[in-house]
Amino acid sequence: MSEASPPAHEVLNQSPPFVDVDLFALDVPLAEAVAANGGANAAQELSEFGRHWGSVAMAERGRIANENTPKLRAFDSRGNRRDEVEFHPAYHELMARSTHAGLHNSTWSADGRPAGAPAEVVRAAKFYMAAGVETGHLCPITMTRASVAALSAQPDLLASTMPVIGNRAYDPTFAPWTTKRGMTLGMGMTEKQGGTDVRSNMTRATRDGDAYRITGHKWFMSAPMCDAFLVLAQAERGLSCFFMPRFRPDGTVNAIQFQRLKDKLGNRSNASSEVEFFGAYGRRVGEEGKGIRTIIQMVQLTRQDCAIASVGLMRSGLAHALHHARYRSVFQKHLADQPLMRSVLSDMALHVEASIALVMRLCRAFDRAAVEPDEAAYMRLLTPAIKYWTCKSAPGFLYEAMECLGGNGYVEEGILARHYRESPVNAIWEGSGNVMCLDVLRALSTEAGTAMGTLQQLAREATGLPGVASATAFIEKAFRRPDAEGAARLAVEKLALLAAVAALNAVAPRHAELFAITRLVGNHGAMYGAVDLAHEDVGRLLDRALPA
């Protein structure tokens, strides 16, 4: 019997885990942005959610669900097709918690109409907190929520699915959706020959009585254990949208065969499949030939969620970095007290403050678009611009947050490596960066008057702040150029920055001024911390980001 070795050393100067916290109470910019956009009364509900998702148990579920990735069981032991994906129980727990909180349905009323203000803002605050803990499982959650917008084009289908979508129950059993307590929906558009250009879809749909038989493939179709998918396919009158359930109405398994699961950089708790349809049963959603118009209603909402999730990831990175810096000493001084580290952290805090103010402002527009034309115009022009800017800034931000933790940031036991690998996907799916810029240009060409009205509104909301007048003039000029496409990234980035200044001005005017000085006036270096903020501004930004 060998004797246990005495410890070789004492563990010193390491930060405790950032868990068992109230993710809402610790996030002053979030609470203020929620209140400024109509959600003040939800503070208690959000704090309960924040405590639950900030618990050590939820953090563990996130880690375990990503370490134990989904497995495709294409066949059973006798060679019969199964086409099921197995997930670790931790993934199912995450799904159940998000569903229980209504992340998949709370923006809809029981009949599938928008629930009205402040449902979008309140749900977005929860979605943002959940994204900071585990983002992969939010893919089917967001698609289910968004699918309702497309199903609205087919009122009978909406009426029959809403009683199931509208439940706050997660039911992972592999059974017909009509028999279940809750259901999830996915989306199949991308084929091998084209993801952006879905008009190139080759999957075909032929009429079969009231329904259709769908034959073809999808190169990316996430969350294959969803109960149904909204799928694009070519019908007689052109590209159309179809509701394709996992089971046919007679209860037999639909002809949906998963070829394999993608081996992804991040987003590993979530399954994304390659799939073939062999005359699969489908029901049309909306008019034949109007598939893009139908599914774009859904995509608008998934884009919104990409932006919210990206900001949630950045917030989590900031909180972990700041927490660590308050415990870790280097050269006899806490990192959080080293002037250079304070510059980095406060500049990151400013980025997150502006980002959360911006996405909450966007969600307010979603809340009010049905009744306020100005808000509908804001939503139309700024959804792609905000998706572009928030999603594309997340990987660089998370890399910097990771570096604040030094070597600990780079290893898989911490959450930052996972966040970093997760972050690029939000820019790629649901319309990649260039596609978002082209969509802003499309809004400007098809609805020029209202789009320019929104620009003027932003300028008014940020009036007097440094750089606002010149940024507005620049954006206007850039978008009027006949060759606007070539300079669209610059103009769209400036548009998002201007909108962020305007949104932050309604929440924290001094910080809107700092953001305008550092981002619009043109003095911001390429790296976080390459700014020269006053001592008291730095202190206030850090205290708000994570009250000590």
Q: Is 526 helix (H, G, I), strand (E, B) or coil?
A: coil
- What angle do helix axes 155-165 and 138-151 make, rounded to 10 degrees? 150
Instruction: Confirm or reject binding of residue 69 to ligand FAD (CB under 6 A).
Output: no
Nearest to 233 by CA among 272, 193, 186, 198: 198
Complex with ligand FAD: residue 55 or 434, whichever CB lies closer: 434
Does residue number 133 form part of the binding site for ligand FAD (CB under 6 A)? no
Burial track 283-320 (b if 16+ CB lie within 10 A, e otherwise): bbbbbbebbbebbbbbbbbbbbbbbbbbbbbbbbbbbb
State yes or no: residue 241 binds ligand FAD (CB under 6 A): no
Closest by alpha carbon to 187, among 237, 131, 149? Answer: 149
Q: Which of residues 255-274 bind ligand FAD (CB under 6 A)?
A: 264, 267, 272
Decide: 451 and 384 in contact? Cβ < 8 Å. no
Alpha-carbon span 467 to 16, nearest angstrom: 42
Looking at the Cβ atoms of 433 and 529, the one nearer to ligand FAD is 433
Asked if 235 and 288 touch (Cβ cutoff 8 Å), the reply is: yes
Q: How far is the CB of 155 from ligand FAD (least distance, A)?
A: 25
- Considering the complex, state which of residue 228 and residue 325 has its C-beta at the smaller distance from ligand FAD: 228
Give the nearest distance from C-beta 198 to ligand FAD in angstroms.
8
Residues in region 406-445 near ligand FAD by CB under 6 A = 425, 428-429, 432-435, 438
Q: Least distance (Å) from ligand FAD to the CB of residue 484?
A: 13
Residue count, binding to ligand FAD (CB under 6 A): 22
Q: Which of 350, 370, 369 is nearest to 358 (CA)?
A: 350
> Which residue's CB is nearer to ligand FAD, number 146 or number 187?
187
Return the number of other C-beta atoms located less than 10 Å from residue 492's C-beta: 26
Tell me how far, at minimum, the Cβ of 533 lies from ligand FAD, in Å: 34
Give residue 320's identity as a one-letter amino acid code. Answer: H
- Give, as ranges, the residues between 15 and 44 that touch ligand FAD (CB under 6 A): none
Q: Which is nearer to ligand FAD, 64 or 435 (CB)?
A: 435
Q: Which of 130, 143 has the CB closer to ligand FAD?
A: 143
How far, in Å, CA of 353 to CA of 315, rounded? 9
Residue 116 CA to residue 367 CA, distance in Å, equals: 5
Of 192-200, 281-289, 318-326, 338-346: span binding ligand FAD (CB under 6 A):
192-200
Q: Name the minimum Å distance from CB 17 to ligand FAD.
A: 29
The yes or no reply on residue 187 touching ligand FAD (CB under 6 A) is yes
Instruction: Answer yes or no whether residue 221 interacts with ligand FAD by CB under 6 A.
Output: yes
DSSP 84-108: EEE--HHHHHHHHHHHHTTTTTTTB
Single residue of 189, 357, 499, 531 touching ligand FAD by CB under 6 A = 189
How far is it, in rounded angstroms, from Cα 320 to Cα 21?
A: 12
Q: Can you say how many angstroms the Cα of residue 296 is from the centroid of all Cα atoms in its chain? A: 16
Nearer to ligand FAD, 267 or 393 (CB): 267
Q: How far is the CB of 149 from ligand FAD (least distance, A)?
A: 16
Q: How far apart are CA 77 and CA 514, in angstroms?
A: 63
- Considering only CA atoms, which of 309, 296, 269 is closest in space to residue 94? 269
Nearest residue to ligand FAD, scored by beta-carbon proximity: 195
**Helix (H), strand (E) at residue 257:** strand 256-261
196 lies in the binding site for ligand FAD (CB under 6 A): yes
- Applying CB under 6 A, the span of 194-202, 304-312, 391-399, 448-456 interacting with ligand FAD comes to 194-202
The answer to whether residue 390 forms part of the interface with ligand FAD (CB under 6 A) is no
Contact range with ligand FAD by CB under 6 A, out of 20-28, 69-77, 186-194, 380-388: 186-194
Positions in the binding site for ligand FAD (CB under 6 A) = 186-190, 194-196, 220-222, 264, 267, 272, 425, 428-429, 432-435, 438
